[in-house]
Amino acid sequence: MTSVGVRVWDLPLRLFHWALALLVVVALFTGDAAGEWLYWHRLAGLSILWLLVFRLSWGFCGPTYARFSQFAPTPAKLMTYFRGQWRGEGHSPLGALSVFALIFILLLQVSLGLFARDDTGFMGPLSSLISLSQAEQITDWHRLSANVVFLLVLLHISAIIYYRLFCQQSLVLPMITGVKKDSVAPATEGGGPKALIISVLLATIAVVAVLQAGAPKSAPSDAPPVVTPAW
């Protein structure tokens, strides 16, 4: 216990946060591009998938303030927050809603992108598994949900500005240093190398599985030649 500074955000969570912010910006600005930009859009999408799977795993086996059970926005917590009586570290109940909303919409967006295909030449890793008409419909949904992602990003930035101007509280600095000053809450604990390895492996397996599922299926080298009938 200390009132000088408490380590709230662990390093893997901070790296996840800033990497996700960068990749979402890249994905949004390359979404309607063409040519070489499509490669970066696809790469950003797969990287976001990796990060999201990592975060889901880290939310169960990571340290204190990274765990979903610690900041799940229950009705009781939300009522306490809106009454101005909530006290705690990590995500506030309202901030927790934002976190869950972002994770959900980004998972939806990435899942749709895996099957998307359009006339710009973009093909999601799994688009070959469905028909062209289905892929085009999913592409429309993918573009539509991008607007929701953009809106949630704007709300997130607005909340940061609000806390800085009206609450005299920086949400950015603790996410850089991991330390929140003037706090008496217990420091984050748990996680550790084993949990980190598990989360990294699960995220990597998920991306590799997607790429393998969408890889072109080549015929075996010893397969008999296909004979075309004379008629």
**What CATH number should be reported for the domain holding residue 84?**
1.20.950.20
Q: Report the alpha-carbon distance of residue 103 to residue 101 in Å, rounded.
A: 6
Model pLDDT, residue 214? 87
DSSP lists the bridge partners of residue 179 as 7
Its domain, for residue 190, covers 5-214
Whether residue 168 lies inside any domain: the answer is yes
From CA 116, how far away is CA 114, in angstroms rounded? 6
For residues 44 and 30, the answer to whether their CB atoms sit within 8 Å is yes
Domain membership of residue 230 (yes or no) is: no
pTM value > 0.75: yes
Strands (E), the chain: 5-7, 179-181
Please tell me the predicted confidence (pLDDT) of residue 86: 86
Helix (H, G, I), strand (E, B) or coil at 72: coil
Structural domain tally of the chain? 1
Answer yes or no: is 56 within a domain: yes
Residue 2 has pLDDT above 80, yes or no: no
Instruction: Match 């976190």 to its residue by tokens.
Output: 99
With respect to residue 221, please indicate whether it lies within any of the assigned structural domains: no
For the chain, the C-alpha Rg in angstroms (whole number) is 22
The 10s digit of each residue's pLDDT in 192-211 is 999 999 999 999 999 999 99
The answer as to whether 229 is a domain residue is no
Query: Is pLDDT above 70 for 222?
Result: no
Q: Is residue 173 over pLDDT 90? A: yes
Average pLDDT for the chain? 88
